[in-house]
């Protein structure tokens, strides 16, 4: 279950001050002092009841050009600041089931009812509205290989609500939740851990009924491009071959094998996938075994 944090009392902070402190500090959300610093910053910003409206109006006046450079997310997410040190600050919009955005996009667009973990840690606080509701679970990340359909020892931790001023720490791979829409539009503020390692770590979508890993949605642009490029040039096949045998990230090795298999037929495809059965990582071996069975 995400850890409830009680930040020390402090003054309201403005966005510029929080951004400056993020730029000055080395945020490491595995370190208790760093967690306390992040909680103090996001809680102080949450006390500023006008900053977000002012920021949104300013973004609208510039046609959200800043977001094009800062954000890799959907319209639900407003990135407020990216620090050159790694962490970033964002606001998340959580529509109610009665809101037009929910009716137009559906629950899946906001990850409602989708049990998942995160491949990064983050500190969050409720800024506006009653807040989304979560069914919370915990698991031991050290006991997980990451294979599709792998059983997880999910421990139900209860139900929580991210109400205004409530501050919590979500720990990478340890905290799993299934979110439900708030009763009215809500906003949360997050300080996110981000480093070069993040995109290489898998996130898991969980089948709550079976208690297993259902999907691993994380993929980098390079992996997606490689899947396409092998159809266009032999040079891309050479790169895929190198990745399949030598890349340090198991998911990338598996995707490189899949890319090579996609341009082969019959026995050639099977031969490529069989190479993956000898990989050192259980995820790669399991992926290739499943693809061979199709």
Q: What is the mean pLDDT of residues 234-253?
A: 97
String of DSSP letters for 50-71? SHHHHHHHHHHHTTTHHHHHH-
The total number of structural domains in the chain stands at 2
- pLDDT category of residue 19 using cuts at 50, 70 and 90: very high
Contact 121, 193 (CB under 8 A): yes
Query: Which range, of 16-20, 184-188, 204-208, 219-223, averages the lowest pLDDT?
Result: 219-223
Q: Specify the pLDDT at position 125.
A: 98
Q: Is the pLDDT of residue 173 over 70?
A: yes
- pLDDT category of residue 71 using cuts at 50, 70 and 90: low
Do both 137 and 239 map to the same domain?
A: no
Q: Is the pLDDT of residue 25 over 80?
A: yes
Do both 57 and 171 map to the same domain?
A: yes
- pLDDT category of residue 67 using cuts at 50, 70 and 90: low
Do both 104 and 233 map to the same domain?
A: no
Q: 3-class SS at 126?
A: strand
Q: Is the pLDDT of residue 260 over 60?
A: yes
Q: What is the mean pLDDT of residues 148-162?
A: 95
Tell me the whole-structure pTM to 2 decimals: 0.90
Q: Is residue 227 part of a domain?
A: yes
Contact 115, 169 (CB under 8 A): no
- Pick from 232, 230, 225: which is nearest to 241 by CA? 230
Q: Is residue 167 part of a domain?
A: yes
What mean pLDDT is reported for the chain?
Answer: 93
Domain boundary among 159, 175, 208: 208
Q: What percent of the chain has pLDDT over 90?
A: 84
Sequence length of the chain is 294
String of DSSP letters for 162-205? --BT-EEEEPTTTEEEEEE--SS-EEEEEEE---TTGGGSPP-E
Spell out the residues 6+ positions from residue 129 whose beta carbon is closer than 8 angstroms to its own.
94, 164, 182, 184, 185, 186, 187
Q: Is the pLDDT of residue 26 over 80?
A: yes
Q: Is residue 14 part of a domain?
A: yes
Do both 90 and 138 map to the same domain?
A: yes
Q: What is the mean pLDDT of residues 145-171?
A: 96
- pLDDT category of residue 193 using cuts at 50, 70 and 90: confident
Q: Is residue 165 part of a domain?
A: yes
Do both 192 and 238 map to the same domain?
A: no
- pLDDT category of residue 70 using cuts at 50, 70 and 90: low
155 membership: H or E segment, kind and range = strand 155-161
Structural domain harbouring 20:
3-208
Domain boundary among 208, 241, 264: 208
pLDDT tens for residues 55-65?
A: 998 888 786 66
CATH number at residue 66: 2.60.120.10
- Helix locations, the chain, DSSP H: 15-24, 32-46, 51-61, 65-70, 100-105, 221-229, 234-246, 250-262, 266-276, 282-293
Do both 61 and 22 map to the same domain?
A: yes
Beta-bridge partners for 96: none
In this structure, which long-range contacts are made by residues 260-266, counting pairs with CB atoms below 8 Å and at least 24 apart in sequence?
Answer: 260/230, 261/291, 262/227, 262/230, 262/231, 263/230, 263/231, 263/237
Beta-bridge partners for 24: none
Do both 146 and 23 map to the same domain?
A: yes
């Amino acid at each position: 279950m995400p850890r409830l944090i009680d930040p020390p009392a402090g003054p309201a902070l403005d966005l510029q001050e929080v951004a400056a402190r993020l730029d000055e500090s080395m945020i490491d959300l595995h370190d208790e002092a760093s967690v306390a610093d992040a909680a103090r910053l996001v809680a102080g910003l949450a006390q500023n009841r006008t900053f977000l409206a002012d920021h949104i109006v300013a973004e609208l006046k510039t046609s959200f050009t800043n977001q094009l450079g800062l954000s890799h997310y959907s319209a639900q997410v407003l990135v407020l600041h990216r620090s050159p040190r790694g962490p970033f600050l964002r606001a998340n919009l959580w529509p109610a089931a009665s809101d037009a955005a929910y009716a137009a996009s559906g629950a899946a667009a906001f990850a409602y009812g989708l049990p998942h973990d995160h491949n990064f840690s983050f500190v969050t606080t409720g800024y506006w509205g009653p807040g989304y509701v979560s069914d919370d679970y915990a698991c031991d990340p050290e006991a997980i290989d990451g294979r599709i359909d792998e059983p997880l020892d999910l421990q139900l931790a209860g139900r929580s609500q991210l109400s205004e001023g409530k501050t919590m720490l979500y720990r990478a791979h340890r905290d799993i939740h299934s979110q439900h829409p708030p009763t009215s539009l809500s906003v949360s503020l997050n300080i996110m851990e981000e480093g070069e390692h993040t995109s290489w770590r898998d996130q898991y979508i969980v089948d709550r009924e079976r208690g297993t890993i259902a999907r691993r949605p994380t993929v980098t642009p390079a992996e997606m491009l490689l899947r396409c490029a092998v159809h266009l040039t032999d040079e891309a096949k050479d790169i895929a071959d190198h990745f399949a045998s030598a890349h340090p990230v198991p998911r990338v090795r598996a995707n490189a094998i899949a890319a090579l298999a996609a341009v082969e037929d019959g026995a050639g495809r099977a031969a490529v996938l069989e190479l993956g059965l000898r990989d050192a990582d259980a995820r790669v071996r399991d992926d290739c075994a499943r693809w061979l069975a199709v």
